[in-house]
Chain A
Amino acid sequence: FAAPAVEVPQATPVAVFKLTADFREDSSPNKVNLGVGAYRTDDNQPWVLPVVKKVERMIVEDQSLNHEYLPILGLPEFRSSASKIALGDDSLAILENRVGGVQCLGGTGALKIGAEFLRRWYYGYNNTATPVYVSAPTWENHNGVFADAGFQDIRPYKYWNAEKRSLDLAGFLGDLESAPEHSIFVMHACAHNPTGIDPTPEEWKQIAEVMKRRNLFPFFDSAYQGFASGSLEKDAWAVRYFVSQGFELFCAQSFSKNFGLYNERVGNLTIVAKDNENLTRVLSQMEKIVRTIWSNPPSQGARVVALTLNSPELFAEWQENVKTMADRVLLMRAQLKAKLQALGTPGTWDHITQQIGMFSFTGLTPHQVEYLSKEKHIYLMASGRINMCGLTTKNIDYVAESIHEAVSTVQ
């Protein structure tokens, strides 16, 4: 048996995986990981939310639970409560029975299913040439998911103004005006990753107006609801506004961060359709897609979320837990800015507290980033993105001083 000779190319290493590996191998006692993608307590430990621990125990003890396969589209009570969280209790669209959910493997899974559906059915039968717009910059996996689903024309839309360290609204609106009709726009519902800059409600209104006029499709990525500001309503404002304006849209929800359930891969693709008939047809096509990837989704995480969201007591407890995380992040932002300003670090640092969510685009250059990792054992993405959760009251002085050094001595 002669194996065919093959040259298998090494795939481009995933940057964030490499960062984690480099950090792990570093033996310095001062090392800080600002590239971690998960919440950390002030002791730099992962945090299982108390409400989650409680619910997980309830689940194990409940003999009445069916441990067989979930339905293809997922746990019904999870799907409905997840969509309700995104769109609000009083959502007219839900009342009109034109909202559906597909339980997926995390936010990535929800994006995947949504992308696969759109490529097949969005506008006509073959959407491989339909432009998909992602923000510049964006979470690097957006490109991968849409490309893998078969979209051949993935383009950036202007978003981050590096000079002003703010939203490039004019650029964004300009790209919306010039995009071909029926293009798909992937937008971050809140806590933009990696910049942390979100449009204000007024700015969202302007964005929605152009999208409506030009028949553009909103595909929201909502990975931080509640985690960003501490308020579920506030963090869902953009999605709810678009729904109120009559848009059909997708919203890929992740419960990894706001439930701390990174490992159980809990996500939901919320679908807002024109009417119930369309919704039914969309869901039936989604089923076919799901069957060729994971067949039916994992039950554990969905059960935890469903039980929590559907019980007033557990829901209140969860909101408190989420606020704990959001508040810690806000505290670290305030402290980092204050320390940099106190040190007289060159440049302006207001953006640290103007940005929201887990990540901050510091504005550090690649050379400065390299300096930090090589000389100071502080690891962050080459883009200058830091995860605020990597900061603690114990390491924040060291980090502030190191950033000061890097900015003062390196271009």
Chain B
Amino acid sequence: MGDLNSNYSFVSLSCVALCLEHQREDGHALVPPLIWKIKQQISTDPTLHADFAPALGLPEFTRRATELALGRECRAVVENRVLGIQTVGCTGAVRLGAQLLRCWYNRSTGWRGPVYIPSPFYAVFQAAGLPDVRQYRCWEAGQWAASEGHVLEDLRAAPEQAVVVLCATAYCPVATDLSQKHWKHLAHVLERRKLFPFFLMLGQGLCLGDPEQDAWPLRHCVSLGLELFCAQSFSHSFGLYGERVGHLLLVLKQNTLLLALQSQAESAVRSLWSRPATLGARVVATVLSNPANLAEWREGVRSAAERCVLIRERLREKLRLLGAPGSWDHLTQQGGLYCCTGLNTCTCCRGGRLNVTAINSCNMDYVAESIHLALTSPL
């Protein structure tokens, strides 16, 4: 599938998609083989019809998406306190979640915020009618590392009942994550300060190479009995970008609220997009519900994550050998698909953030030399 291109005249490091070792000549990512195979099956399956999906999504998909996030034996699921809704990508999940918070959360007090959020989704919350959006610090500038201290400090100062948006995986805005120990401290603050967690989980499986490990922060909070929302994206983990597969997970304290929230969700969806698109959800459900597919997918994310680690190590080593100024330890301390280079102007990446997976054995030298050049050339 595709030719190995050994002569790069450009490298698309700002490419958003996860790239495999072999890329297309135009720099765009190839479809993962498993996904391509399933799409072929779907396109030739005579039993599949094209009728509307239910408003809240394909049940087989929402069931599997919930399972992927929370695990098989989650108490909250067993106690029927969990609702899963298929959405139009992660943005759709955040938008729907924000609208549901507006109509449900602390309804008796007319709550309208604040929402603490470190990521670019603040406009979504505002558009959903929650204008009081605030930043919290989450990393140490200059060290390119997550700052547990800053996070806890800001959250301790947040008013009770505030909603806090948290990245469960190393995706945005900093390509780094907190340790389990740090997460335990954070969860403790959430509990004590009565804060409502709204998790964003993108690229589950790609950070630590294991979907269960990547979901640990989310599962830990659920195990503590916290009420929370989680917006899941399947773009990176499944190579399904244009298909817009997303999922909104609602974990409630009482299952008595479930039916009412479900009807509110149906009503909200009706005015947003009416029903979600099915292709991507069908693909994900096919992967997650078939043991052979599931095993192949797990192996895929594991090796993608491993490849990221290797690339980071090699890049760091090359930069060190070239004598590129600065410390590059953060390259190997960060996890996930992206890394922050600290470059302030770079023609090939936005905001100094580059897609690690777009680097491969063919273009590695070129990339390292370019970074070195960018830092050492007079402006």
Residues of A that sit less than 8 Å from B by CB:
1-14, 17, 37-38, 45-46, 48, 52-53, 56-57, 59-61, 63, 66-70, 105-106, 108-109, 112, 141, 144-145, 147-149, 256, 260-265, 288-289, 291-301
Q: A2-B194, A9-B260, A263-B279 are in contact. List 13 more A-B contacts (CB 8 A).
A: A1-B227, A3-B253, A6-B257, A10-B259, A17-B55, A53-B43, A263-B277, A264-B50, A264-B278, A265-B277, A289-B127, A292-B95, A300-B242
CB-nearest residue of chain A to B276: A265
Q: Are B106 and A6 in contact (CB under 8 A)?
A: yes
Contact between B52 and A68 (Cβ–Cβ < 8 Å)?
Answer: no
With both chains docked as a complex, state the minimum distance between the C-beta of B188 and any C-beta of chain A, in angstroms: 11
Tell me the minimal C-beta distance from B29 to chain A in angstroms: 7
Evaluate contact between B91 and A293: CB separation under 8 angstroms. Answer: yes
Between-chain CB contacts (< 8 Å), 25 pairs: A1-B226, A2-B194, A3-B253, A6-B107, A6-B257, A11-B266, A17-B266, A48-B49, A67-B242, A68-B241, A69-B241, A105-B88, A105-B277, A106-B275, A144-B271, A147-B271, A148-B272, A262-B275, A263-B52, A289-B127, A291-B124, A293-B92, A295-B244, A298-B279, A300-B277
Tell me the complex Cα distance, A64–B276, Å.
Answer: 26
Cα(A170)–Cα(B247), bound, Å: 49
Closest to B125 in A: A292
B6 within 8 A of A: no
The interface residues of chain A lying within 8 Å CB-to-CB of B277 are 105, 263-265, 298, 300-301
Q: How far is the CB of A142 from chain B (nearest CB, A)?
A: 10
Asked whether any CB of chain A lies closer than 8 Å to the CB of B115, the reply is no
Residue ID in chain B nearest A144 by CB atoms: B271
Distance in Å: Cβ of B154 to nearest Cβ of chain A: 20
**Beyond A264-B277, A291-B91, A292-B123, is A112–B106 a contact (Cβ under 8 Å)?**
no
Name the distance in Å between A260's Cβ and chain B's nearest Cβ.
Answer: 5
Q: Given the complex, which residues of A lie within 8 Å of B367, measured CB to CB?
A: none
Interface size class of B (residues with CB under 8 A): 35 or more
Q: Which residues on the A side are within 8 Å of B118 (C-beta)?
A: none
A9–B88 CA distance with the chains assembled, in angstroms: 25
With a cutoff of 8 Å between Cβ atoms, the chain B residues found around residue A145 in the complex are 271
Output the nearest chain A residue to B191 by Cβ-Cβ distance: A1
Q: Is the CB of A298 within 8 A of B264?
A: no
The residues of A that contact B323 with a CB separation of less than 8 Å are none
Chain A-chain B contacts (Cβ-Cβ < 8 Å), number: 202
A106 near B267 with CB under 8 A, answer no
B300 at the interface (CB under 8 A from A): no
Minimum distance in angstroms from A62 CB to a CB of chain B: 11
In Å, the complex CA distance between A37 and B274 comes to 13
* Beta-carbon contact of B43 and A56 below 8 Å: yes
Once the chains bind, are B49 and A60 in contact (CB under 8 Å)? no
- Give the Cβ gap from A11 to chain B, nearest Cβ, in Å: 4
The reply to whether B89 and A67 form a contact with Cβ atoms under 8 Å apart is: no
* B267 interface neighbour in A14, A256, A264, A292, Cβ under 8 Å: A14
Across the interface, which residues of A come within 8 angstroms of B276, CB to CB? 105, 265
Contact status B271-A141, CB under 8 Å = yes
Q: Which of B89, B123, B239 has the most CB of A within 10 A?
A: B89
Q: Whole-angstrom distance between the alpha carbons of A5 and B108 in the complex?
A: 8
- Cβ contact within 8 Å between B270 and A14: yes
Contacts A4-B161, A295-B91, A298-B244 given; does A11 touch B106 at CB 8 Å: no
Closest chain A residue, CB of each to CB of B54: A17
Partner of A298, one of B31, B88, B254, B259: B88
Contact assessment for A293 and B271 in the assembled complex, using a CB-CB cutoff below 8 Å: no
Residue of A nearest to B120 (CB): A291
What residues of chain B lie closer than 8 Å to A37, measured between beta carbons?
52
**A57 / chain B contacts, CB cutoff of 8 Å:** 43-44
The reply to whether the CB of B180 lies closer than 8 angstroms to some CB of chain A is no
Given contacts A48-B50, A260-B50, contact A108 B43 (CB under 8 A): no
- Give the residue of A56, A59, A69, A109 whose beta carbon is less than 8 angstroms from that of B16: A69
Task: Tell whether, in the assembled complex, residue B274 and residue A46 are in contact, meaning their CB atoms are under 8 Å apart.
Answer: no
Chain B: which residue is nearest A57 at the CB level?
A: B43
> Taking the nearest CB of chain B, how far is it from the CB of A72, in angstroms?
11
Bound-state CA distance A256–B36 (Å) is 25
Are the C-beta atoms of A8 and B264 separated by less than 8 Å?
Answer: yes
Q: Nearest chain-A residue to B36 (Cβ)?
A: A60
Cα(A113)–Cα(B218), bound, Å: 33
| CB of A63, distance to nearest CB on chain B (Å) | 7
CA distance A68 to B276 in the complex (A): 18
Rounded to whole angstroms, the CA-CA distance of A186 and B15 in the bound complex is 41
Q: In this complex, what residue of A is CB-closest to B95?
A: A293
Cβ contacts B2-45/A at 8 Å (1 or 0 each) = 10000000000001110000000000110100001001100110
Interface string of B257-299 (1 = CB under 8 A from A): 1011101101110111111111110000000000000000000
Complex interface: chain A residues within 8 A of B243 (CB): 298-300
Please, which residue of chain A has its CB at the minimum distance from the CB of B128? A292
Alpha-carbon gap, A260 to B264, bound state (A) = 28
A268 to chain B: closest CB distance in Å?
A: 14
The reply to whether B50 and A262 form a contact with Cβ atoms under 8 Å apart is yes
B92/A1 in contact, CB under 8 A:
no
In the complex, whether B79 has a CB less than 8 A from a CB of chain A is no
**Does B183 make an interface contact (CB < 8 A)?**
no
Q: With both chains docked as a complex, state the minimum distance between the C-beta of A356 and any C-beta of chain B, in angstroms.
A: 22
Q: Indicate which residue in A2, A66, A297 contacts B244 across the interface (CB closer than 8 Å).
A: A297
The residues of A that contact B261 with a CB separation of less than 8 Å are 8
Contacts of B141 in A (CB 8 A): none
Contacts of A70 in B (CB 8 A): 242
A78 CB to closest chain B CB, in angstroms? Answer: 12
Complex: how many Å from CA A113 to CA B273?
10
Closest approach, in angstroms, between the C-beta of B267 and any C-beta of chain A? 4
In order of increasing CB-CB distance, the 8 nearest A-B pairs are A299-B242, A292-B127, A295-B91, A105-B273, A108-B274, A148-B271, A11-B267, A298-B277
Answer yes or no: B53 CB below 8 A from chain A CBs: yes
CB atoms of B244 and A296 under 8 A apart: yes
**Any A CB within 8 A of the CB of B73:** no
Q: Which residues of A contact B89 (CB under 8 A)?
A: 294-296
Q: A77 to chain B: closest CB distance in Å?
A: 14
Q: Which chain B residues border A45 with CB–CB below 8 Å?
A: 49
Closest-by-CB residue of A relative to B15 is A68
Residues of the B chain whose Cβ atoms lie less than 8 Å from the Cβ of A68: 15-17, 28-29, 241-242
**Inter-subunit contact B52/A264 (CB<8 Å):** no
B100 to chain A, nearest CB (A): 10
Residues on B with beta carbons closer than 8 Å to the beta carbon of A69 = 16, 235, 241-242
Task: Give chain A residues whose Cβ lies under 8 Å from the Cβ of B244.
Answer: 294-299
Specify which of A4, A56, A297 is in contact with B106 (CB 8 Å cutoff).
A4
**Which residues of chain A are within 8 angstroms of B43 by Cβ–Cβ distance?**
53, 56-57, 59-60
